[in-house]
Amino acid sequence: MTTVRALVKRAADELADAGVASPRHDAEELLAHVLGLTRGALVGVDEVSEEHRRRFVELVERRAARVPLQHLTGRAPFRYLELAVGPGVFVPRPETEVVAGYAIDALRAMGGTPVAVDLCAGSGAIALAIATEVPNARVYAVELDPDACAWAERNLAGSSVTLVREDAAVALPELDGTVDVVVSNPPYIPMDAYDSVEPEVRDHDPAAALWSGSDGLDAVRMVERTARRLLRPGGLVVVEHADVQGESAPAVFASAGWWLTVRDHPDLAGRPRFVTARRSPRRLAS
Ligand code: GLN
């Protein structure tokens, strides 16, 4: 038997040496995962069995090799949810919770049965958050990648979300001009940021969820065109972007000639993170 304190301390030191950003947190999460407990419940445990210790040490080694924590536990928290995640799907991030929250607040304020579409839905995190927090909304999740779709299917099973396996650029033509909110966390990392991206992201999130042309805005431009097609006049688009795109992402909307009240918004760390705009009923004079 080994004491929990000693185990966590050793693991946290090893993770810190490996460059993991939150070594103690991750060590505790992994131990709690092995024991089938929440991290908070670890304080009630003094010692662990040899079998549990062995499994824990194995996971810590993989985490030290920079496998994402969420791939090791198979879970990612997102707002009130826990999503199933693993290889083949983008791990939901805290900053996207704010993006989803903006769409959720707007849908709530609409009443009736508002229609929402999540483009590039990945694990289904945003769509599922909307469906659970705005139960009167009709929600569609659009995702093309088969591996991501398999995870989304699992996460959305039993929910009211309709999963559409299609290219977002052409998806849901039957909804053209009728959608109330289009929300998206598309791929957006500029190619020249490659070297500054953490190994957990670069080597384990799907490339299709990360990169999008040299300025990172190819998918944002596609989302602009698709949102323009899907939204009703006055409908709202909400699109996440990189912190270096606080001017260039809003410019995609401002220069398109179809958007009113283009605004940029920060995430919880105060970095530029998402753009919102309202669909104009008609093309604007340039
Ligand atoms: N937010 C991701 C990251 O920080 C980038 C890609 C995305 O969210 N669309 O790695």
Report the nearest atom of ligand 1 relative to the CA of 95: 1
Residue 187 Cβ inside 6 Å of ligand 1? The answer reads: yes
The residues near 276 (Cβ < 8 Å, ≥ 6 apart) are: 102, 236, 237, 238, 239, 261, 262, 263, 265
Output the six-digit token pair for 224. 């602009």
% residues pLDDT > 90 (the chain) = 97
pLDDT at 169 over 70: yes
Asked if 221 contacts 248 with a C-beta cutoff of 8 angstroms, the reply is no
- The Cα 59–Cα 30 span in angstroms is 7
Asked if 156 contacts 127 with a C-beta cutoff of 8 angstroms, the reply is yes
pTM: 0.96
Residue 158, Ramachandran bin (φ over 0: left; ψ between -120 and 50: alpha; else beta): left
The residues near 84 (Cβ < 8 Å, ≥ 6 apart) are: 74, 75, 123, 151, 154, 155
Residue 155 is labelled as binding a ligand:
no
pLDDT at 2 over 90: no
pLDDT at 219 over 70: yes
Structural domains in the chain, CATH included, are 2-65 (1.10.8), 75-279 (3.40.50.150)
- The Cα 227–Cα 233 span in angstroms is 11
What confidence score (pLDDT) does residue 243 get? 96
Residue 48 Cβ inside 6 Å of ligand 1? The answer reads: no
Residue 143 is labelled as binding a ligand:
yes
The whole-number average pLDDT for the span 198-205 is 96
What confidence score (pLDDT) does residue 87 get? 97
Residue 230, Ramachandran bin (φ over 0: left; ψ between -120 and 50: alpha; else beta): alpha
Ligand 1 midpoint to CA 93 (Å): 8
What confidence score (pLDDT) does residue 1 get? 59
What confidence score (pLDDT) does residue 285 get? 81
Residue 201 Cβ inside 6 Å of ligand 1? The answer reads: yes
DSSP 243-282: GGGTTHHHHHHHTTT-EEEEEEEE-TTS-EEEEEEEE-SS
Residue 212 Cβ inside 6 Å of ligand 1? The answer reads: no
What confidence score (pLDDT) does residue 93 get? 97
The SS3 call for residue 166 is: coil
Ligand 1 midpoint to CA 189 (Å): 7
Residue 121 Cβ inside 6 Å of ligand 1? The answer reads: no
Each residue of 238-252: pLDDT tens digit? 999 999 999 999 999
Strand-pair partners of 128: none
Q: Which amino acid is at 85?
A: V
Each residue of 60-98: pLDDT tens digit? 999 999 999 999 999 999 999 999 999 999 999 999 999
Residue 94 is labelled as binding a ligand:
no
What confidence score (pLDDT) does residue 139 get? 99
Each residue of 134-148: pLDDT tens digit? 999 999 999 999 999
